[in-house]
Amino acid sequence: MEAPFSKRLMWRIETWAHTAVTAIVGRLPPQTVFHFGEAVGKMIWPLMKGRQKTIARNLRIAGIVDGGASTDELAKRSFM
């Protein structure tokens, strides 16, 4: 069964957007890309409650401990 036209169109738009962003970011110096990614991570972290819980849970399961830092703090640092 073929996906509806609207869904296929959305896939093409997403592919185009990903290709465009990759082409632009690929031309930037690595340090700039790193700082940009860090800033974006700080902005979207509060909006991703489900992701926060998943990362914290995975860290607990793995038994990762970092000098007394809480699992939530480690989750935030690993995301950014």
23 Rama class: left (phi>0) / alpha (psi -120 to 50) / beta:
alpha
State the total domains in the chain.
2
Same domain? For 67 and 41 the reply is no
Determine if the pTM surpasses 0.75.
no
pLDDT for the residue 52: 87
pLDDT for the residue 28: 96
**Which residue in the block uniquely carries the two structure tokens 């793995």?**
62
Condensed to tens digits (0 to 9), the pLDDT of residues 12-63 reads 999 999 999 999 999 999 999 999 988 998 899 899 999 888 888 888 888 8
pLDDT for the residue 55: 85
Measured CA to CA, the distance from residue 56 to residue 71 in angstroms comes to 6
pLDDT for the residue 68: 62
Same domain? For 24 and 37 the reply is yes
Between 30 and 71, name the one with better pLDDT: 30
Same domain? For 31 and 66 the reply is no
